[in-house]
Structure 1
Amino acid sequence: MTKFLLAVHVLAAIVAVGPVTVAASMFPPLARRALAAPGDDGTAGTLSLLHRICRVYALVGVVVPVFGFATASRMGVLGSGWLITSIVLTLLAAVVLGALVLPAQGAFVAGEGTNSARLAMFTGVFNLLWAAVTVLMIVRPGSTTGA
């Protein structure tokens, strides 16, 4: 059962977090382009699509920590420092995405956004948090895998 839970956790992370990371990263440069050349309908449509991808996959991404907790519980590592750190970083990433990235993207899509540099910064922080979580999940300080 542990292997099943871990497989679902990893697959959900790849399928859910991957698209959010890529779409969120593509958004700021395109937003800058839209600000430089207003009225380009293709850019507006693409921004809308990228924002939708981020919103939908962010919701799907809730599966990742759900199966992560189930896996950690089965493995008996809920109190491990590396896991607690990754949980905190995951919560921070969710807050950055939900409170900063998605609203800023929504403002751009609605034609109210003007600060693409700030959005790029929020997106970069979000991506760095996920990268740190990924490293912790692979390295797991104190791991018995020997890797």
Structure 2
Amino acid sequence: MTKILLSLHVLAAIVAIGPVTVAASMFPAAARRAHAAAAEGAADLGTVRLLHRICRVYAKLGLAVPLLGFATAAAMGVLSSGWLTASIALTAAAAGILAAFVLPRQDELIDTLGAHKALERTETAQLAMFTGVFNLLWAVVTILMIVRPGSTTGA
């Protein structure tokens, strides 16, 4: 059962978190391009809206990752391990950044672009910064999951 849970956990992470990290990373530049196109009278928010939808939908699917992770950790008997506690804390921080900063700022930028208001570079730069922190946290969690300090796998 442990192998099945671990497989589902890893697959959920790849399928759910991967698209969020990519789409969120692409969003600021797409918003700047959409704003530039709007200034020339050719506004098209399709790409920006699609990237935001990918982020929202896959963020919800991403809830399966920690749920499967807890089930896997319980089956493996590693719930009290330090590396797992650190991974849980970093996962919670990444989810918090996504929910509190990335998705709401994407909403705000879409509203700004839709209303044909001026878009400041600092707005997209700040979003890119929060997205970068989100992505960095997931990279660290991935490394912790692979290396697992103190594991008996020899990794």
Q: Same fold (TM over 0.5)?
A: yes
Q: Report the counterpart of residue 73 of structure 1 in structure 2.
A: 74
Do the aligned partners of residues 34 and 76 (structure 1) sit closer, same or farther apart at CA in structure 2, a change above 3 Å counting?
same
Q: Report the counterpart of residue 42 of structure 2 in structure 1.
A: 40
Tell me the distance in 1 between the aligned counterparts of 2:128 and 2:153.
37
Q: How does 1:4-19 map to 2 (within 5 A)?
A: 4-19=4-19
Sequence identity percentage = 68
Structure 1 residue 31, shift from structure 2 partner: 1.4
- Asked if 1:138 corresponds to 2:146, the answer is yes
Contact 2:35 2:43 in 1 (8 A): no
Between stretches 76-85 and 111-120, larger displacement belongs to 111-120
Tell me the alpha carbon deviations over residues 91-119 of structure 1, each in whole angstroms, 9 at most, x when there is no partner: 00000000000000111112266410000
Q: Report the counterpart of residue 50 of structure 1 in structure 2.
A: 51
TM-score by length of 1: 0.95
Do the aligned partners of residues 101 and 128 (structure 1) sit closer, same or farther apart at CA in structure 2, a change above 3 Å counting?
same
Structure 1 residue 40, shift from structure 2 partner: 3.5
Structure 1 residue 139, shift from structure 2 partner: 0.4
Structure 1 residue 37, shift from structure 2 partner: 3.3
Structure 1 residue 29, shift from structure 2 partner: 1.1
**Count of residues in correspondence between the two structures:** 146
Tell me the distance in 1 between the aligned counterparts of 2:43 and 2:8.
39
Tell me the alpha carbon deviations over residues 4-58 of structure 1, each in whole angstroms, 9 at most, x when there is no partner: 100100000000000000000100111122233324333x110000000000000
Tell me the distance in 2 between the aligned counterparts of 1:62 and 1:20.
12
Q: Which runs of 5+ in 2 are unaligned?
A: 114-118
Q: Which runs of 5+ in 1 are unaligned?
A: none
Do the aligned partners of residues 40 and 122 (structure 1) sit closer, same or farther apart at CA in structure 2, a change above 3 Å counting?
farther
- Asked if 1:98 corresponds to 2:94, the answer is no
TM-score by length of 2: 0.90
Tell me the distance in 2 between the aligned counterparts of 1:131 and 1:121.
15
